[in-house]
Amino acid sequence: MTRLKFFLPVILFMGLALLLWRGLYLDPKELPSVLIDKPMPAFALTTVDDESVSNADLPEQIFLLNVWGSYCLPCLIEHPTLMRLSEEGEIPVVGVNYRDEQDLALDWLDENGNPFAFSILDELGRFGIDLGVYGAPETYLVDAEGVIRYRHVSVLDETVWAQDFLPAIAELRAESGR
């Protein structure tokens, strides 16, 4: 008993040190999204091609919602991955053109290729606020019922796809029994 009392401060210290040590390696940029397990916010907007879109136009299967902009350099880094996913038909990708100018967005898609089923035009960032976006790139995983299930902040490359998205998608599929 006295032995335990003697070592108690050391044990407490080690616990605290371990906790803080772990804290050093957490990414402060990775904020949990409040919208996880909530339906995608209602919208009635236009695409970058001036077609009107609303929630009814979203794919009726699991899809990615990717927040991008022509000004956004990391978006170029993840672009090949998005292209591959959409070209190989692995998963549909819907874009949110966040705080951009329509002309520049269209030029960007022309120049680099368009992986998006469609891109929602959000020049004023109003839809981005409803999504809780704080900067491109961000990618949401949305299920067939239009419920947001996962969010990734910053670049979605092949590593992130394999490590984070594939397991999350497998889990969703297992859940819905498909």
Partner 1 sequence: MEIAAALKKALVLSLTLLVLGLSAQVSAQVDTFQFDTDEQQQRFRRLSDELRCPMCQNTNLTGSSGGTAEDLRREIHRMIMEGMTDQDIEQFMFDRYGDFIFYRPRLRAETVLLWFGPLIFLIIGGFVAYRIFRRARTLGEKPITLDESEQERLRALLGNKQKP
Residues in touch with partner 1 (CB under 8 A) = 28-29, 31-35, 99, 124-126, 128-135
- Judged by beta carbon, residue 31 or residue 170, the one nearer partner 1 is 31
Residue with tokens 């050093």: 24
- Judged by beta carbon, residue 25 or residue 177, the one nearer partner 1 is 25
The three-class DSSP label of residue 108 is: helix
Q: Contact 154/135 with Cβ under 8 angstroms?
A: no
Q: Contact 137/58 with Cβ under 8 angstroms?
A: no
User: From the CB of 31, what's the least distance to partner 1, in Å?
Assistant: 5
User: From the CB of 98, what's the least distance to partner 1, in Å?
Assistant: 9
User: From the CB of 74, what's the least distance to partner 1, in Å?
Assistant: 14
Q: Contact 123/101 with Cβ under 8 angstroms?
A: yes
Beta-bridged to residue 96, according to DSSP, are 67, 120
- Judged by beta carbon, residue 33 or residue 119, the one nearer partner 1 is 33
